[in-house]
Structure 1
């Protein structure tokens, strides 16, 4: 399988390239240091798997994953990170990533998980899965009561006009508040807002 490694730390890229290249069925065809470079690499040498850090300057792994999946849905994406917070995990999976593992993962286990991903399985590290199963509350608490009201009405399928009528505010205020909510939650559109809301309600 052909693998693209993406991390803003060149040493990590080099180390992973060296270690994974020892696997007989793995070929690291390229490395990149940010999300934009990862997309460019996909243009030039389409990999089977992108092994990508989630937190990078410029375009991060979540933004890059979203664009890669839109352009090349067949490419499998494994997010690799030291972060274990549920908000990042959920955003990565919403962006289309099929796997999520920690940088502390042993190389032998990492190779096994990449093989599982290549075979079509979704792969989430056991420790990450435990975090993912916890209810995500901290980020939603960053929203004001009005923002939470609008989020709930979006999840219920209300249009901007219907939200404005129910909350006795203008449609312009609804639009502006939606933009603020999307920025706070690092989401792209109303659909992702609805998915986010219902996942928090489980």
Structure 2
């Protein structure tokens, strides 16, 4: 079964280029193209895609608001933000709105397509190394004068709190298992329970929760 993709970008050349590229990959199917955030929301509701490849800067409704509306109304659709990482200061807002990750417009085509597949499979796009860079560039704003004490997280165990802290530091399940002296399967189980208890769509939102709760500090 192919992965159904909705392309949302105000530049026709970007959309047509992505469509042509995806045509050569039988596991990917473009089910629609949107030139604005409002059109992306409408088409997402009509076509029920697996992934929306979402630009941020579009006329009218931007990609952040469109992401928020799609995440709220299309339970099975995941949003992959398409952005220029070094310039776009709105990526964090998109992740908070419910996006499952991001791709950079100047990435290799194969990497963008791989990201679509990762997100469609239900995983977060952001790998540990990229997570650290993302947090450093987008969440460290500005450096606080005092360190905020960790906030209580209702409904999770002390072990789950430890796991959430390590997720916030960009650790993979294997790295979490190694640090806590547990099996990878157990680490994965803890992460799955955190998804349910914190109502998080994916690992990206767990990272954000860890930072907002003060469990980890943004890297310097």
Would you say same fold, with TM above 0.5?
A: yes
Task: Name the TM-score class by shorter chain.
Answer: 0.5 to 0.7
Q: Which residue of 1 aligns with 2:170?
A: none
Please tell me whether residue 55 in structure 1 is matched to residue 57 in structure 2. Answer: yes
| Partner residue of 1:136 out of 137, 140, 161 | 140
Please tell me whether residue 39 in structure 1 is matched to residue 36 in structure 2. Answer: no
Query: Which stretches of structure 1, 4 residues or longer, exceed 6 Å deviation after superposition?
Result: none
| Partner residue of 1:16 out of 15, 18, 22 | 18
Offset at 1:127? Answer: 7.8
Quick one: structure 1 residues 31 and 55, their matched pair in 2 at CA, closer, same or farther if it must change by over 3 Å? Answer: same
Cα pair 1:101 1:128 within 8 Å, conserved: no
Give the distance between the partners of 1:47 and 1:8, measured in 2 at CA: 19
Please tell me whether residue 71 in structure 1 is matched to residue 93 in structure 2. Answer: no
Quick one: structure 1 residues 120 and 201, their matched pair in 2 at CA, closer, same or farther if it must change by over 3 Å? Answer: closer
Give the distance between the partners of 1:34 and 1:60, measured in 2 at CA: 7
My pick for the range that moved more, 57-66 or 123-132, is 123-132
User: Deviations 1:95-128 (Å, cap 9, x if unpaired)?
Assistant: 1101211011111121112111111110027885
Give the distance between the partners of 2:53 and 2:103, measured in 1 at CA: 10
CA RMSD, 1 decimal: 3.1
Unaligned runs of 5+ in 2: 153-208
Quick one: structure 1 residues 24 and 126, their matched pair in 2 at CA, closer, same or farther if it must change by over 3 Å? Answer: farther
Quick one: structure 1 residues 93 and 22, their matched pair in 2 at CA, closer, same or farther if it must change by over 3 Å? Answer: same
TM-score, normalisation: structure 2: 0.61
Give the total of aligned pairs: 155
Unaligned runs of 5+ in 1: 142-151, 157-194
| Partner residue of 2:105 out of 87, 99, 103 | 103
Give the distance between the partners of 1:30 and 1:19, measured in 2 at CA: 15
Give the distance between the partners of 1:94 and 1:200, measured in 2 at CA: 17
- SS of residue matched to 1:55: coil
Offset at 1:83? Answer: 3.2
Tell which structure's C-alpha radius of gyration is larger.
Answer: 1
User: Deviations 1:63-83 (Å, cap 9, x if unpaired)?
Assistant: 000000100121011001113
Q: From the two aligned structures, give the one with the greater helix fraction.
A: 1
Cα pair 1:84 1:128 within 8 Å, conserved: no
